[in-house]
Amino acid sequence: MEFNVGDVVVYPHHGAAQIVEIETRTLKGEPTEYLVLHIQQSDLVVRVPRKNVEEVGVRDVVDAEGLERVFDVLRTPHVEEPTNWSRRYKANQEKLASGDVNKVAEVVRDLWRREQDRGLSAGEKRMLSKARQVLVGELALAEGSQETERDEQINTILAEGERARQAAAEAEKEAADKK
C-alpha cells in the first residue's frame, strides 16, 4: 500500500490516525523511512517503519462495502464464544490486535451482549470501551459523520441483533415445548 502525508489510516489498538509526516531516520547506519501517525482520539504520535506498515496492521479506512460487512457482523444473532474468562479475554485481545475492523466489531458485539446478559469484569469493560472507541472512530471517518451519530447507530444495530437473538431463542423453546 502506498501512503502519503495527509492520508487518514487505521492503526490497530488506537483507531484512526493521520499521516502527518514521512521522515527518514538512521538506525545502525541504515536510513529507514517512517510514517509519523497522529492518533486523533488520544493525541498520540506513533512512528511506523514504512516497510512494516502491513505487518503492523496499518490500513486504509473501511469503504462502503466494508461498512455493510461490519453492520452484518454486529447483527449476527448467535456466536459461540469461550466460557472461560481468560480464553475469551485472550481471543478478544487477539481480535483487537489484528486491526481488522470486522474482528473489532465482533469484540464489540460479543462483549456488549455479555454485558446485557451477565455483566462484564472490569477488564472486559475496559476492552469493550476501547473496542467501541476504535470502531466508532473508523465508522465516523468512513461515513464522514460525527462519532456520536455512529455510536448511536452501533447501539441501534446491537439492540436489533439482540431482539432477533431473543426471538430465535423463544421460537426454539416453543418448538421444543411442543415436542
> 155 and 83, same structural domain?
yes
- Which is it for strands 8-11 and 15-27: parallel, antiparallel or unpaired? antiparallel
> 127 and 45, same structural domain?
no
> 102 and 51, same structural domain?
no
Q: How many CA atoms lie within 13 A of 175 on its CB side?
A: 6
Range of the domain at 46: 8-60
> 123 and 69, same structural domain?
yes
Q: Is the Cβ–Cβ distance between 154 and 132 less than 8 Å?
A: yes
The DSSP bridge partners found for residue 34 are 23, 49
The domain boundary, picked from 35, 60, 85, lies at: 60
Q: Could you give the CA distance from residue 83 to residue 88 in angstroms, rounded to a whole number?
A: 7
Taking only the tens of pLDDT, the chain with its 179 residues reads 789 999 989 888 788 889 999 999 998 899 999 999 998 778 899 999 999 998 888 998 898 899 999 999 999 876 777 788 899 999 999 999 888 999 999 999 999 999 988 889 999 999 999 999 999 988 988 888 888 999 999 999 998 888 877 787 788 888 888 87
How many beta carbons lie within 10 A of that of residue 104, not counting itself?
27
CATH (domain of 166): 1.20.58.1290
Cell numbers that stand for 22 in this block: 514521512
Residue entry with cell 454486529: 74
> 71 and 15, same structural domain?
no
**Residue 3 belongs to some domain of the structure:** no
pTM exceeds 0.75, yes or no = yes
> 135 and 115, same structural domain?
yes
> 167 and 101, same structural domain?
yes
> 157 and 122, same structural domain?
yes
> 80 and 38, same structural domain?
no
**Residue 129 belongs to some domain of the structure:** yes
> 156 and 122, same structural domain?
yes
